[in-house]
Amino acid sequence: MSKTIAVCNQKGGVGKTTTAVNLSASLALLGAKVILIDLDPQANATGGLGIEKELVEKSIYEVILDGLPAEQSLLPTKIENLKLIPSHGNLSGAEVELVPLERREGRLKEAIKPLGPLCDLILIDSPPSLGLLTVNALTASDSVLIPLQCEYYALEGLAQLLSTVKRVQGGLNRALAIEGFLLTMADFRTKLTGDVIQEVRRHFGSKVYEVVVPRSIRLSEAPSHGLPVALYDPDSTGAKAYHSLAEKIQWRQDDRSSWIRPGDSSADSRGGPDSSRGGDQGPPAVDPSESVSAPSDPR
């Protein structure tokens, strides 16, 4: 059975697409069969995997709104195990077009059911909003991975996101778990990065991945070459970070998937994003009422 992970944060530019593309690629290179769904009208994941978004004819829009079978929208990528359901600018109309439809929050979930037997993992790159597309992503997923940029306002707006997660857990998708919080664009030379990392760990403890994605020129260059960083510059710090994250998530697959190599049993790397710091068991209920604030001393 495949597992579906939504990469969400309504804050713009925090590293959702970079994470969705590079985590998908790294998981695929580790041997998993992965499908990446670009659910953002900006279609950055589509472009980042080298596909001309203007030329896309069968996109996630047609899958959600026109009943196109999801299998028919799958595109190959430069990594054999990684397939993409591309996006298109017309998806920007979907937020409005979905409103009058029946079961509008569950359209994506229904549409991608046939993909389950075709892959081990489905990743969804969400748009920077908490609208119906993001709610569809959360409803269709087993878990949500939340990238947080290492900057002063990293936690701003997070209460809203967690409250949306909680609302979805309350009815549309009771099994939705927090996969983990991923710190991105860290500049380890600055005190600010250290402060933000400390603050995020204080709030979310073992749900924060040990792996922190550094600011890396290679990561920002790779999409313009239509490549995940693992192909563009596999030795870069960014590529190594996403490889480590992929290994962590691979273990979380546990017995849900057959692609974990039999015999591999380093149990201490299983569990939560940061199981070495105490681990976590099962889907946590998030408490959006928990105060989430910006780091107290940014300097």
Ligand X SMILES: Nc1ncnc2c1ncn2[C@@H]1O[C@H](COP(=O)(O)OP(=O)(O)OP(=O)(O)O)[C@@H](O)[C@H]1O
Provide the binding-site residues for Mg ion, judged by CB under 5 A.
16-17, 44
Count of C-beta atoms within a 10 Å radius of residue 209: 22
Residue 48 or 273 having the CB closest to ligand X: 48
**Contact region for ligand X (CB under 6 A) — 30-38, 70-78, 97-105, 215-223?**
215-223
Pick 134 or 253: Cβ nearer ligand X:
134
| Shortest distance (Å) from residue 3 CB to ligand X | 21
Assigned token pair, 227 = 């490549």
Considering only residues 169 through 198, tell me which ones interact with ligand X, judged by CB under 6 A: 184-185
Residue 147 to residue 158: CA distance in whole angstroms:
11
List strand residue ranges (DSSP E) for the chain, in order: 3-7, 34-38, 75-76, 82-85, 121-125, 143-149, 177-184
Among 2, 26, 44, 77, indicate the residue that binds ligand X (CB under 6 A): 44
Q: Does 15 bind ligand X (CB under 6 A)?
A: yes
* 4 binds ligand X per the rule CB under 6 A: no
- The listed partner (Mg ion, ligand X, none) that binds 213, CB under 5 to 8 Å by sort, is ligand X
Query: Per-residue string for binding with ligand X, 109-148, x by CB under 6 A?
Result: -------------------x--------------------
Tokens of 35: 């499908």
Cβ proximity of 126 and 8 under 8 Å: yes
Interface with ligand X, residue 18, by CB under 6 A: yes
At a CB cut-off of 8 Å and minimum separation 6, what does 42 contact?
87, 127
- Give me the least distance between CB of 113 and ligand X, in Å please: 26
Give the integer Cα–Cα distance in Å for 130 and 158.
Answer: 11
